[in-house]
Structure 1
Amino acid sequence: FITLSEDKIKQSWYSNDSQGIILFLEPTDEFFDYESPKEDNISFKTILPYLKPHKSKIYWMCLLLLLGTITTLIFPILTQKLIDEGVTKKNLNVITYILLGQLAFFFGNIIFEVIRNWITLTVGTKINIQILSDFLKKLLKLPIKFFDSKLKGDFNQRIIDHDKIEIFLTSQSLPIIFSVVTFSVFFGILWFYSFQILLVYIILTAFSIGWSLIWMRKRKILDYIRFQQRSENQESIYEMINGVSEMKLNDFEDYKRNEWEKIQDKLYKINMRILKLDQIQLSGFEFFNQLKNIVVTFLAAYFVIKGNMTIGALLSVSYIIGQMNSPINQLVTFFRSLQDAKLSLSRLNEVQNHPEEEKTEHLPLMHERYTHQNSIEKGIYFKNVSYQYEGPQSPFVLKDISLFIPEGKVTAIVGASGSGKTTLMKMLLKFYEPISGNIFYNHHDINDISPSDLRKNSGVVMQEGFIFSDTIERNIATSEENIDYEKLEKAMITANIKSFVDSLPLSLKTKIGSAGNGLSGGQKQRILIARAVYKNPHFILFDEATSALDAENEKIIHNNLQSFFKGKTVIIVAHRLSTVKNADQIIVLKNGEIIESGKHHELVEKKTDYFNLVRNQLELGN
């Protein structure tokens, strides 16, 4: 970058007697603000269905609110009677009865509040769990490319951010009803005592609420910035924990920690901006609030001096103002909590509104419409298929691919790294959709087939296959509640992992660490192979499924799989010659295009790209 000051530019321009126009653009502070989020019509109507199962509790809540309001309403009346009828007239009996009555109402109020808080927490928590459960249910129905476009920290932060909805439901939504009712009742009582005091109260209250509301949009923008930076923070921590081995091996612990500290600095700055905004908002609100109290107290005292109001009425007005201030404070807090909940809900709705990969018109893979094709050669057809990742300038990963994968045969796909092998396999599983062209299963478009049913009938081992933090048996028999142990044993024998499992103290009940911590790369791959074999599916897709295995284990597993492959459509992506040489057909990819296809001996005789791959591998072996 070349940096020149404004003075230097002007000096250079003027000294050369140049003519023209210089346009100086200087960003203001607003330029560096996050782009104002789009206004969305988020409605809490989406929460109403969650309230229906809790109708009876909500009815009890309303009853308790009513009783609480009545008891609160009685206090100012009793206070006035205490002063005017008891203290002024020196009637000890009246004073005693009134104080005992106040004590009874006070304890009644406490009981009502305890029950109300219990109901509020119960209902709010259950609704929150159900909303979050539906969010996760929806999340798991979205296509893989949606996850590819998001940071892991983004999803974590959305779930954490979801707590704002629970806070709103448990601490604000139902209590605000009580506050509105209380305010309305005392509003009427204050009108009865003095309309002038009520008018002043309304004007100054409007100023205090208005002051709070004018900062809400700015607060919304800052909340979006903070959410983004918290997501980055989650992602940074996730990377450090999961990449600790690589960090230690490559000596960049300090670099990653410094990266995290920079994110913390950004978070600190945005938190300071939010704190500053909150202080301005709350300080202005408190100023108008205190001004209102002072003016109202002055007016009430003035009316007492002029003989228009009794001292008992003065105390009652003071009590009423205090009771009305509480709902106003609650209202401002409610608006802030409402905004937080709406922002959180909008982030959840971004997921909820995203189209699912499963469509209602999809049919099961084994539907008779797809299986009765006796007159047509069965298999998988690629017809002029192209694919590129999102972005118009992104290079094509696959270009105009046309091929036939026969049913019940083994097809191997080979090629250099980045040639599009894994992408092609993911398209077979409907993880990605073609930019152009079509894929057919037995001459039926893959777009008409249910993705979940397609995967249910596929046994897949990917390069990045995941091991769950669960027992070995649950990592193999992932899709079944009731495990078939006979089938499980056969799967382990096929994957040559039974002896290892039997050597463990808890055998199949041994719990594996997250992402397979504590297992070698070869052991992880054998568990993944056993998982695919246990499903006993119609389609088998292996992407470098034996790359981490030693030669002896690979040979044993390869021999075991030959009988398992019979009658199944098998697609293998691999580099090793031993894995692909016996395939019924071999597809050679280069830069996203098919350049060769045939059997092993046919391709070797051509002495072109496949021959070079084989020769290079043999040379490396030697």
Structure 2
Amino acid sequence: MQCGITCLQMICEYYGKRYSLSFLEKLCTPTTEGISLLGLSKAANYLGFDTICTQIDITNLSKYPLPCILHWNQNHFVILYKIRRDKRFYIADPSKGLIKYNLEEFKSHWISTRLKDKEQGIAMLCSTTQLLDNNNIKEESKLKEERSLKFLFGYVKKYGKHFGQIVLGLLVGSLLQLILPFLTQSIVDVGIKNQNIGFIWLILLGQLVLTMSRTAIDFIRRWLLLHISMRINISLVSDFFIKLLKLPMSFFDTKLMGDLMQRMGDHSRVNTFLTQKTLSIVFSLFTFVVFSIVLLSYNWLVFTIFMLGSLLYGGWLALFLRRRKVLDYELFEQQAINNNKTYEFITSMQEIKLQDCEQRRRWEWEDVQADLFGVQMKSLKLQQTQEAGSIFINELKNIVITVVAATAVIHGQLT
């Protein structure tokens, strides 16, 4: 629903004018179906652009100044900002970022009308006027919207004491985990080598105590996380309701119920990020550093292989971040549509029966489910591809380390 407004914002910024999405949304007069090309054109004219909304073929499109706004896939808006001589089209998609398309790919997304030998798509061509340079719209001065995580971590500050206890527990658990490899080594190098069964029993008893201590710390950590996460989740949703209730009635005329419900559901993801993912990242980094030092103390070659494998593992995961971000947006949008369609289906039951349109409405709902399934399938394929590469890299690293370590033991370089 925000794609057209975002495109207009990017066009304005290209010409040195910056406006907030909320301000541009008021100019475009959106509905629950989204933004129309007419609404975008009127808003652009108000800001000082001269616009032409037309059906045009690719040959003529390349003759006009860029950037321009294109109607994409019959349900979306994007910006075309460059055409190369080899028929490469550069698109700025609000939902996917900057993408390059060849001629056939571009036509499959943009062309909407095919008459005889003509293939045409819908475009809004933009050019500047003196009004754009001379306008004194006040909104421009207060555009800069801060995209920061500071407001999120404001919720965490309230429970700093509890988070301190959790972090302390993670550190103690990591240190206890660090001791285990040395205990295992001492069993083999001292207990078995000297055939000292008493020493072996002592070490095993120590391992049991350490394991029980780690388990107790983990239990306490989970209870603290539950205590914190519930309160943070309530605060997030409560603040969302406070902001929602302050909005004018016109806002609810342009928003789907499913979109609002999906945003409420996403607060649980924010909560998980604040209370679990962040701590997990800190714990993983600490563990990585600690065990890297342990490996370096044993053998520099094993440490080097471990570091190279870890860097390759991290690089492989980074390759998928952008695509996962795009799919996450698509999934959010599709889930919002699904929630809205389900809500309408249930609340409009009397109207459906009166109009005798049960089958049509059910087919509409099933069509939305098919679209949702398609996005979930793409997400699963990407996840499996990422996991397959990750497992291969990790296991290959472990195998190489095992071979190198075993060779070092055979040659007497390691115990």
Please state which band the TM-score falls in when normalised by the shorter chain: 0.5 to 0.7
Mapped contact 1:204–1:289 kept (Cα < 8 A): yes
Mapped contact 2:236–2:267 kept (Cα < 8 A): no
Q: Does 1:248 align with 2:326?
A: no
Structure 1: 5+ residue stretches without partners: 1-22, 33-39, 311-622
Q: Does 1:85 align with 2:190?
A: yes
- Counterpart of 2:381 (choices 276, 279, 287) is 276
Aligned to 2:289: 184
CA 1:25–1:201: 2 relative to 1, 3 Å: closer
1:19-168 to structure 2, matched below 5 A, reads 25-27=103-105, 31=109, 42-168=147-273
C-alpha RMSD of matched pairs (Å)? 2.0
Q: 1:176: Cα distance to partner?
A: 2.3
Structure index of larger Rg: 1
- Counterpart of 2:302 (choices 192, 197, 206) is 197
Mapped contact 1:153–1:234 kept (Cα < 8 A): yes
Aligned length: 281
**Separation in 1, partners of 2:356, 2:256:** 25
Mapped contact 1:57–1:119 kept (Cα < 8 A): yes
Aligned to 1:140, the other structure's residue is in SS state: helix
TM-score (norm 2): 0.65
Q: 1:225: Cα distance to partner?
A: 1.3
**Separation in 1, partners of 2:380, 2:171:** 37
**Separation in 2, partners of 1:54, 1:104:** 31
1:86-485 to structure 2, matched below 5 A, reads 86-310=191-415
Q: 1:31: Cα distance to partner?
A: 4.3
Mapped contact 1:208–1:288 kept (Cα < 8 A): yes
Q: 1:234: Cα distance to partner?
A: 1.0
**Separation in 2, partners of 1:172, 1:25:** 42
TM-score (norm 1): 0.44
Aligned to 2:198, the other structure's residue is in SS state: helix
Aligned to 2:44: none
1:467-616 to structure 2, matched below 5 A, reads none
Letter in 1 for 2:105: P
**Separation in 1, partners of 2:106, 2:273:** 36
Mapped contact 1:120–1:174 kept (Cα < 8 A): no
Aligned to 1:511: none
Q: Which runs of 4+ in 1 moved over 6 A?
A: none
**Separation in 1, partners of 2:340, 2:176:** 52
Mapped contact 1:125–1:170 kept (Cα < 8 A): no
CA 1:95–1:184: 2 relative to 1, 3 Å: same
Mapped contact 1:215–1:281 kept (Cα < 8 A): yes
> In terms of mean alpha carbon deviation, does 268-277 or 164-173 score higher?
164-173
**Separation in 1, partners of 2:306, 2:109:** 40
**Separation in 1, partners of 2:107, 2:278:** 36
- Aligned identity (percent) is 40
Q: 1:62: Cα distance to partner?
A: 2.1
Aligned to 1:169, the other structure's residue is in SS state: helix
Q: 1:30: Cα distance to partner?
A: 9.2
More helix by share: 2
Q: 1:73: Cα distance to partner?
A: 1.2
CA 1:258–1:205: 2 relative to 1, 3 Å: same
**Separation in 2, partners of 1:30, 1:61:** 53
Mapped contact 2:156–2:274 kept (Cα < 8 A): no
Deviations 1:277-298 (A, max 9, x none): 1111111111111110111111
Deviations 1:416-455 (A, max 9, x none): xxxxxxxxxxxxxxxxxxxxxxxxxxxxxxxxxxxxxxxx
Q: 1:170: Cα distance to partner?
A: 3.4
Deviations 1:363-410 (A, max 9, x none): xxxxxxxxxxxxxxxxxxxxxxxxxxxxxxxxxxxxxxxxxxxxxxxx
Q: 1:230: Cα distance to partner?
A: 1.1
**Separation in 1, partners of 2:175, 2:269:** 31
**Separation in 1, partners of 2:331, 2:107:** 17
Deviations 1:482-506 (A, max 9, x none): xxxxxxxxxxxxxxxxxxxxxxxxx
**Separation in 2, partners of 1:221, 1:172:** 20
Q: 1:44: Cα distance to partner?
A: 2.2
**Separation in 2, partners of 1:226, 1:278:** 14
Letter in 2 for 1:103: L
**Separation in 2, partners of 1:46, 1:92:** 58
Q: 1:308: Cα distance to partner?
A: 0.2
